[in-house]
Structure 1
Amino acid sequence: EENVFDLSFFQDRITAFDDVAIDSANPNLVFALDAQSQTVCSFLLNGDATLTAVGCALDFAVNPFCGISALNGTLAISGGTGGFTTFKYGTNVGNLGRIDNEAVQRNVILPNVIGYPDVLLVTPTLAAFSTDFADGSNEVPRFGTMMVDLSDEPPRELHNFRVVDSLRFQFALAPSNFPLVNSVYETPCAGQTVMYTANGALTSQDPFTSDTTTEIPIPSFLAVTSAVNQEKKSLFVGGVNTATGNSEIRDFTLTDPLNPMISTITALAGTGRVVSIASSGDIVLYIMDGPDGTSYDFFSHTGQTAPVQVCPTQAPAPTPLPTTPGPTTLLPTTP
């Protein structure tokens, strides 16, 4: 008998979806979070752009800010001051997208944390949690990103990146638009992954091995969100022009991923603030939140070609110095 998921029970709970995520390892899998009902659901994206419900999970922290991320069988929910929750879901044909009923971790707050307003899965077991740290002071930045190993039980912090001159709660729009957003670029160079953080400043860092960040200067601009177009080797950063007060999207080429170079600036129409960006192929999709509510639009960047990226190579092994043969010793022979 075919196992058909019945969404009717969850439809009575769900009021509206506040955040969405696509599994980059399974691009036809979409996950959507409703903060009010504390429900997350998975859907299959069909060829005609319709969605088929697959499964839902319930009851996890979401306040006051939250976000979701999904990658190859792991679903992570940042639950604000209530802690983060993770679920497993199916990645095979028979159970693709089906979320397990029981959480792997539920409402976890690690030491020195006030809350987690957003999350990005770098790998299925490595999460980048946008974090409000408890030890923030005049000397130590309060906001940043905590890298968490989800494979350990309990999960543990590996290292963190703090944001100097953070926006803090400026431009925050509850429940799912907190202006501390991470995005990841998988470079064509073996073993090199770069993570970008937008939170007023824009920084780049290696999410696996270091707690050192590189600030990318953007004069007269406050970054609030970011997205990577892997195919085009581009980084799109949404934010506010401090001179005009209007939203813009800055396009950076990733020839040097740790030090991207700005390519184009796109001014966005309207009085709202850009809250989210996604880019694939030649299209950049963005969401605005303004006096008339939430709206979305897109623009094309077809004229841009992906830059050529040269990977560092190992230096050739030194040529051995020539050696002078020593005298030959003849062994005595037995007649």
Structure 2
Amino acid sequence: MDKTTANGPGERHEGFRSGFVSFVGRPNAGKSTLTNALVGQKVAITSSKPQTTRHVVRGIVHRPDAQLVLIDTPGLHRPRTLLGERLNDLVQETWAEVDVIGVCLPSDQRVGPGDKYLLGEILKLRRVPELVAIATKSDLVGPTRLGEHLLSIQKLEEEIGLTWQHIVPVSATEGHQVDVVADCLIDRLPEGPAYYPDGDVTDEPTERLVGELIREAALDSVREELPHSIVVTVEEMGLREGRPEDKPLVDVFANLIVERESQKGIMIGHRGSHLREVGQAARRQIGALLGTPVHLDLRVKVLKEWQRDAKHLNRLGF
């Protein structure tokens, strides 16, 4: 067997690198889109709505010489609820355990106080991981603006007192320089074993992935006041019995939970029109994930002030 390959978890070969990388950045900095591009398939939901990511999502990149475990975390933000506080704690716990932090700084936005605050919080860690600056969304700007952006990122070294191991622009949506980002991250990893078997792209339970795809479909079509209030629970999921082997069907029974009765009305829409749209969009994504046609039974329920209630948060897995 070639010394630079690894076939399973725990195996270690000379020169093989492995480790954990966390992507950080302000909300909507392109962290989840970049995670999906590096993994090569969708493991994290994406949305233009802030605070889309609500838990740690691991995406696994396999190469003959390395295994890169990407950890997409919620964006660090000023918390207004108990949920927000718990998400911030989750982010900082993750930072303390990774080998490298990839700081996502979108090219279509100026480096601002929010970015500097985020970096300041990283520098407060007892052990600061190695830092790689990633200028995301490079396709949205011209060469001159991109050059200015890269220069402002470089200047952060003096302004804040940090050291970038690499500064690399990338367009995850167009696939431009995605491999270069992978090279830069793997370059900073220690030698070590493969943590996951070949072929694994995430350690997310299928039910959670399905729930997140439903939430993504809901987020894409609601007003600004609703996104934070939406959570999805998958109550039951499985192959329908009695179907021919060549015509399988997966039944998914899920609840789309909001905080107030008025939000329930918005989510359902006139005569159920909005909920049907959400269900149709989610069904397509779930079918693509499972490789099987899906019947989705989606209900809207109200759980008052769930973001502020410790018992509700515990029951919902936060």
TM-score by length of 1: 0.27
By relative contact order (CA 8 Å, sep 6+), the higher-ranking structure is 2
When Rg is computed on C-alpha atoms for both structures, the one with the higher figure is: 1
In terms of fraction of residues, the more helix-rich structure is 2
The TM-score, its normalising length taken from structure 2, stands at: 0.28
Between structures 1 and 2, the one with greater strand share: 1
